Amino acid sequence: MMELVLTFTAVVLSLAAAGAIVRIARGPSLLDRVLAADVLLAILGAALCIDMAVNRHLNNLMLLVAVSVIGFIGSVTVARFVADRREQLNES
């Protein structure tokens, strides 16, 4: 049964990742791309989780936490940067 679940989730997650990548490629603005990259990281985290659940180990757990921290710091940094740049443009 686990084989079936693994196949199904692999297909679903690949589709989801493809969707996120399409949004990164198309995304009209920088913020859209950041958001889509964040989702891509979350999908990666989901894949790590499924690997842990199916193979019954915990080796990826720290990687999972690290991935979500990177996603958080990344999007917050870019959001700040975007807001600041626009304010400077308005002033000049």
Partner 1 sequence: MSPDPSAVDAVIDAVSAVFMIVGAVMSLAAAIGLLRFPDLMSRMHAATKPQVLGLFLLLVAVGLQLRTWWVWPVLLVAWIFQLLTVPVSAHMVGRAGYRTKHLHKELLSTDELEAVVLKAAEAAKERD
Query: Would you tell me which residues interact with partner 1 (CB under 8 A)?
Result: 1-2, 5, 8-9, 12-13, 15-20, 22-23, 29, 31-32, 34-36, 38-39, 42-43, 45-46, 49-50, 52-54, 56, 58, 61, 64-65, 68-69, 71-72, 75-76, 78-80, 82-83, 86-87
Kindly state the smallest distance separating residue 33's Cβ from partner 1, in Å: 11
Residue 73 CB, shortest distance to partner 1, in Å, is: 9
DSSP 8-state assignment for residue 56: T
First and final CA of the chain: distance in angstroms? Answer: 63
Print burial letters for 34-56: b (CB count within 10 Å at least 16), e (below 16): bbbbbbbbebbbbbbebebeeee
Minimum separation from the CB atom of position 22 to partner 1 (A) = 6
Which tokens is 21 given?
């990548």
